[in-house]
Amino acid sequence: MNAPDRNIRPEIRQLDEAAINRIAAGEVVERPASAVKELVENALDAGAQQIEIAYADGGKTLIRVRDDGHGMAPQDLPLALSRHATSKIDGSDLLNIHTFGFRGEALPSLGAVGRLSITTRAAGQEGATLSVDGGRMGPVRPDAAQYGTQITLRDLFHATPARLKFMRSDRAEAQAIADIVKRLAMAEPYVSFTLSDVSGGAVREIFRTDAAQGALFDALEDRMASILGRDFTENALRIEAEREGLRLTGFAGLPTYARGAAVAQFCFVNGRPVRDKLLLGALRAAYMDVLARDRHPVAVLFLNCDPQLVDVNVHPAKSEVRFRDPGLARGLVVSALRHALAEGGHRASSTIGAAMLGAMQPLSGPRLYQMERPSGAATRMAYQMQAPQQGFGESPALWPAAEGLSARHEPAAPAPEQAPSFEDAPLGAACAQLHGNYIIAQTTRGMVIVDQHAAHERLVYERLKRQRAARSVASQALLIPEIVELSAQEAAQLLELAPDLAALGLVIEGFGGASVIVRETPALLGTLDARALLRDILDDLADLGQSQTLEGRIDAVLSRMACHGSVRSGRAMRPEEMNALLREMEATPHSGQCNHGRPTYIELGLAEIEKLFGRR
């Protein structure tokens, strides 16, 4: 590589408007889905109640967004295509933002890299249309347009062909468009959305959701069901919490309804979909104690606050935000989710029972319909004919079938006093134990199968955690305290957390300069590498803004202790022991899953059982 010639001084030039718009487009419009996001957000800002989106070839050749919003006046069209021209803010206060858009960059950026046309009509105004091709604006022409706005973008990136080389396949780009439309639809349950693929001239509806009705939570639930499926709403807990001006609402999936990847986590701040590290980290921390490391929660969270408390102008695509008090936002998410999960008690995912039914293979045979079943009288007659005859046993008292089902009506003997029934309880009454590990319980709705070891493991674990919280964590003094060299910033971060770490059994002090000295460590952890532990805590602080490492390690030890102290597989249990286990599960938070996130029980409804036997 040749060194630059210092005698040649580069000249500073003012870029023309077209180049500026193409550069801006590189930040605002990364791919077709980015263009759809900008146009749909503009429609929502315009007060649209119905939005129709169409695309062709993954959005590369056509994107069309039609809305019934308030539209624009003809004289405003040229200004709408000028950079930094917007009707959404006046520029005096960049923190008081109540709309999706506010920079005035989307339309001119799209017009700079594609062929853009806008057709619009506002109330009391004539319809008009305006076209832009590669940054060159045409004249405003009259048009017999409907109320609202239709924006058509053709041949995206035709003015910057190098960008086309970075496009993915049509199918991948179409999937990205569908994902972004669904995210926007989640936060607007009272708006109808339609997404269609018009490639090749054929119209194929990809996604449709109609405006919901009723109260906000009911409307959100209907919208989540149409986008994420009924399985999600049936296995999600409602979240509602408020603290110091921040309000959190939404739905959080049960731990047993987790996924293998973080693909179903949706966060919104003042209705804006974001992929914010702080919020996603808080979500992960809330589920830390109820999910295995390779499982990820499913959640849709809406955080609303005064716009003055959050800065949305920190990312080119506005996909990240910055809170004035990040600790408050994170604490609200963690505490609200943990409270909801604890309130959920012993609930387990309903999809587990469905999976069990799918795994069962009933013996093939003719389906039995209701009309083919014998009547009650015929059944009694058949039982009477099948009753044992004299000589079957030593005493007629051994013939219960003949005596109980005969046509004679004799007074029945008084029934013996029975033990209390638990069938009305959520987990029912224990009936049997199979293979030394599975408890079968009968409920009023059907039956429950409980993994006795997994269930008792969670119960013991929760008991140990309560004891730890009541007595704090015991620490052990190091015979030779360990000195750890850090940077000045890292040492300051750790020393600021010193009181919290001491409550968990880790005692550190400053040791001059950028060093800290470790004097005590948690007794539960035994011998450990103090330097590595501090490094892990610092990594957590950098990633999440708060460390869960030490608490997580202690909880892992308690989890192992609970596993070894639990009812072992293969141990026979008496009926009263099984019932006592079921009652404690009903009273213990998180008992629907073991310490590793696996379900502790499966519930089958009576209708599902009857369906297996062809009775429905």
3 state SS for 499-538? HHHHHCCCEEEECCCCEEEEEEEEHHHCCCCHHHHHHHHH
- The pair of three-digit structure tokens given for residue 537, joined into one six-digit string: 């805590």
Kindly report the backbone phi and psi dihedral angles of residue 327, in degrees, each rounded to the nearest multiple of 5, phi listed first: -65, -35
Angle at CA of residue 381, ends 376 and 387, nearest 5°? 125
CATH topology for 17-209 is Heat Shock Protein 90 (3.30.565)
Q: For residues 296 and 264, what is the distance between their CA atoms, to the nearest angstrom?
A: 9
Ranges of the chain whose pLDDT falls below 50? 90, 363-373, 382-383, 385-413, 415-419
29 within 8 A of 169, measured Cβ to Cβ: no
Fold agreement (17-209, 422-616): no
* Beta pairing class for 62-67 and 50-56: antiparallel
- The pair of three-digit structure tokens given for residue 564, joined into one six-digit string: 């070894």
Q: Which residues contact 615 (CB under 8 A, 6 or more apart)?
A: 368
Check residue 409 and give its pLDDT. Answer: 43
Identify the CATH class of 216-344.
Answer: alpha beta
Strand (E) or helix (H) holding 496 = helix 488-496
Q: For residues 317 and 495, what is the distance between their CA atoms, to the nearest angstrom?
A: 36
Q: Which CATH architecture has domain 422-616?
A: 2-Layer Sandwich (3.30)
Overall size of the chain counted in residues: 616
- The pair of three-digit structure tokens given for residue 607, joined into one six-digit string: 């209708």
Helix, strand and coil content of the chain, in percent to the nearest 5, comes to 40, 20, 40
Could you read off the pLDDT of 234-283 as tens digits, one per residue?
889 999 999 999 999 999 998 888 888 888 999 999 988 988 888 988 89
Domain boundaries, the chain: 17-209, 216-344, 422-616
Which residue matches tokens 């590369």? Answer: 60
Q: For residues 570 and 390, what is the distance between their CA atoms, to the nearest angstrom?
A: 44
| Spatial CA neighbour of 443 closest among 464, 427, 461 | 427
Check residue 410 and give its pLDDT. Answer: 45
Check residue 210 and give its pLDDT. Answer: 94
Could you read off the pLDDT of 181-232 as tens digits, one per residue?
999 999 999 999 999 999 988 899 999 999 988 888 899 999 999 999 988 9
pTM over 0.75: no
* β partners of residue 441: 430, 448
Which residue matches tokens 């209701």? Answer: 370
Check residue 312 and give its pLDDT. Answer: 78
